[in-house]
Amino acid sequence: MRNNSDFLFASESVSEGHPDKVADRISDTILDTYLAADPEARVACETLVTTNQVILAGELRGPKSITKEMLNEKARETIREIGYDQDGFSWKTANILNLLHAQSPHIAVGVDSNESKDEGAGDQGIMFGFATSETETLMPAPIYYAHKILKNLNDLRKSSDHKGKGFLPDAKSQVTLRYVHGKPVGATSVVLSTQHEESMPQENIRDVLKELITNTLPEGWMCPDKEFYVNPTGIFVIGGPDGDCGLTGRKIIVDTYGGAAPHGGGAFSGKDPTKVDRSAAYACRYLAKNIVASGLADLCTLQISYAIGISHPLSVYVDLHGTGKDIDETKLEKVLRELMDLSPRGIRKHLRLNRPIYKQTSAYGHFGRHPDPVKDDFTWEKTDLVDALQNAFNR
């Protein structure tokens, strides 16, 4: 996004009940199942969901004790947790077709370590990280609030509060914010479409959602009433996989920075951390966030590139968008390589990624989340490099 100028910027989010997110969550549940049994397991699980159908495909390497029947039950349990028990999509009756198979040995040869080489990247690719000082989580404000609105709606739906009665799992939000001198100052429009029971009047839905959104945004940020759109096409009763097909990895902008930063194109869910699409993107966010948290800059975009089977990154690039506090970006790139081993193995060890911590990442964004001290998840959101970065630049 432009720095020190006036503009409008919008980002969208989707709920855990959106069909693409149902697919993401099933894929990450499969991944967690394998990592819980074997931290070195390899998983690339793709899921397709449609009217009362679930298709699992991809490649695996892990304990033989994990059977297809076990994975099918994990998928069914995931659908139940989200809240789908509708005629067109139900955890009880959905047909599950499991086409998962063993990992190609040609991929394993290129990726695995041996006596003569370190473990290589699971694929070629470019990964980006981003951070900005405009929110407490160092995330862009439009995607931060788009996520927060849907998370609060989901919590309301699953609560005992009578206001949440009748809301169903599928929902989408879109928030447009006005920036003045590069800083967000308020919403100019908010769009929220949510699945609901047929008996709910649209006026009631609008009233509940207006209160929820007003309480979610900072005081005075709510958009004009005429720019507040609820279920713009009318009723939204048929939703989720019954209303639209869902696929793993189709919401990569929702998963990251809401379009405020570049994206390398690789999706996250269902991939074990040897796949740099996931692990290196987490490392990029971790480094960018620590740069901003250290006070060295207000904005940071970071790119790392890899080649399949090669352990070291081919490039590290940092852009502070003119907000650096007397920082040489070339020196910063060198410092980052010294502070963190950016090989696939080094990233996994530093961020402790070989653990079953991924199901909770599948909705409401992979970034900008608060680490749980008990689960020790979202380790890429920690700011434990701040002191080292400040020391490197004599701050």
Q: Which residues contact 374 (CB under 8 A, 6 or more apart)?
A: none
Structure tokens given for 157: 């739906």
Binding residues for ATP: 18, 170-172, 244, 250-251, 267, 271
What single letter denotes the amino acid at residue 85?
D
pLDDT of residue 116: 45
Closest CA to 296 of 204, 392, 221, 214: 392
* Integer Cα distance of 266 and 122 in angstroms: 12
Binding residues for L-methionine: 59, 103, 244, 275
What single letter denotes the amino acid at residue 224?
P
pLDDT of residue 105: 65
Binding residues for K(+): 46
Binding residues for Mg(2+): 20
**Owner of token pair 């047909």:** 95
Which residues, in sequence order, are bridge partners of residue 50?
Answer: 53
**Tens digit of pLDDT per residue, the chain (395 long)?**
777 789 999 999 999 999 999 999 999 999 999 999 999 999 999 999 999 999 999 999 999 999 999 999 999 999 999 999 999 999 999 999 999 999 876 555 556 554 444 677 777 899 999 999 999 999 999 999 999 999 999 999 999 999 999 999 999 999 999 999 999 999 999 999 999 999 999 999 999 999 999 999 999 999 999 999 999 988 999 999 999 999 999 999 999 999 999 999 999 999 999 999 999 999 999 999 999 999 999 999 999 999 988 889 999 999 999 999 999 999 999 999 999 999 999 999 999 999 999 999 999 999 999 988 888 999 999 999 999 999 999 88
pLDDT of residue 3: 78
* Integer Cα distance of 202 and 269 in angstroms: 34
* Integer Cα distance of 3 and 275 in angstroms: 33
In the chain the domains, ranked by start, together with CATH numbers, are 7-14+141-241 (3.30.300.10), 19-111 (3.30.300.10), 125-133+252-392 (3.30.300.10)
Q: What sign has the CA pseudo-torsion 171, 85, 78, 238?
A: negative
Structure tokens given for 103: 């990992």
* Integer Cα distance of 203 and 237 in angstroms: 15
Binding residues: 18, 20, 46, 59, 103, 170-172, 244, 250-251, 267, 271, 275
* Integer Cα distance of 224 and 45 in angstroms: 43
pLDDT of residue 109: 53
Assign 3-class secondary structure to the chain.
Answer: CCCCCCEEEEEEEECCCCHHHHHHHHHHHHHHHHHHHCCCCEEEEEEEEECCEEEEEEEEECCCCCCHHHHHHHHHHHHHHHCCEECCEECCCCEEEEEEEECCHHHHHHHCCECCECCCECCCEEEEEEEECCCCCCCCHHHHHHHHHHHHHHHHHHCCCHHHCCEEEEEEEEEEEEEECCEEEEEEEEEEEEEECCCCCHHHHHHHHHHHHHHHCCCCCCCCHHHEEECCCCCCCCCHHHHCCEECCCCHHHHCCCCCCCCCCCCCCCECCCCHHHHHHHHHHHHHHHHHHCCCCCEEEEEEEECECCCCCCEEEEECCCCCCCCCHHHHHHHHHHHCCCCHHHHHHHHCCCCCCCHHHCCCCCCCCCCCCCCCCCHHHCCCCHHHHHHHCCC
